[in-house]
Amino acid sequence: MEDGHRGGTGSVVGRALCVLEAFTPATPVLTLTDISRHTELPLTTVYRLVKELTAHRVLERETGGGYRIGLHLWEIAALAPRGLGLRELALPYLSDLGHVTRENVQLAVREELSVLYVERLAGRNSVRVLTRVGGRFALAPTGVGRVLLAHAPAEVQERVLAQPMVAYTEHTLRDPARLRRILAEVRHSGVAVCPRQVTPDGLSVAAPVHGAGGEVVAAVSVVAHVDRAEPRALIPLVQVAARGISRALGAPLPPADDGGRAGEGPGAAGHARLTGT
């Protein structure tokens, strides 16, 4: 019976989602046989689903006979407020942060027990990162992930800390007790600093982005080379960008030490705050 296949495929919607989830950055074009193998659905079922999804432009057929994700799905995804809507509001501040630091700049949200990257701007000659826009990653080892996890419900924190953790480098912290202390410090300091946790030469500095109700809805980070970056210099820049995005989202921000200018946008005054001029 088809109900036994993976991916919650008991319903038509479940099977259609299973088909879409078969596409990955490593396999952006799939044949019907490929999709059947990835989804464990019968080829006849895959044929019917793909035909319907193609008719609605959710999938597009390649000249060679394969299929890829269609632009209509991107149009629908653009309506997600935590995705492209957040990205559009944040881009001016992310751009300024990238211009000033010349490093990788990232914006992410928490999706269940993972980090979901909404935007990433690559710096010139910047350190290698393993993330991509629309990609997921573990919460615990990343700067944005620790910020989001620190402000997540206690139940979510415990579920994450109870999971087996991957050692991406020899420095990756996997001890739940130490991670709990670090999350408490992130909540207290308002920033996460993660050296050599995902790549041996990377340093992530992240800060929270607040929504209209004051809750943490996202996190912004700079990822630089650990040997040439100075966290004390990056922290205020990342925090200024995070406050700017928060203000754009309507967050009730407290007065800043500089008279309330810390959350200004990417105009002359906001740029001065990022550059220190």
Q: Give the pLDDT confidence of 108-143 residue by residue, as tens digits.
A: 999 899 999 989 888 777 777 777 777 889 999 999
Q: What does the pLDDT read at residue 259?
A: 39
Q: Give the pLDDT confidence of 259-276 residue by residue, as tens digits.
A: 344 444 444 334 333 433
Q: Is the pTM of this model over 0.75?
A: no
Q: Which of 83-87, 107-111, 221-225, 265-269 has the lowest mean pLDDT?
A: 265-269
How far CA 29 is from CA of 23, 129, 219, in Å, comes to: 7, 24, 32
How far CA 195 is from CA of 171, 198, 200, in Å, comes to: 8, 8, 8
Q: What pLDDT band is residue 27 in, cutting at 50, 70 and 90?
A: confident
Structural domains in the chain, CATH included, are: 2-76 (1.10.10.10), 81-275 (3.30.450.40)
**In the chain, % of residues over pLDDT 90:** 58
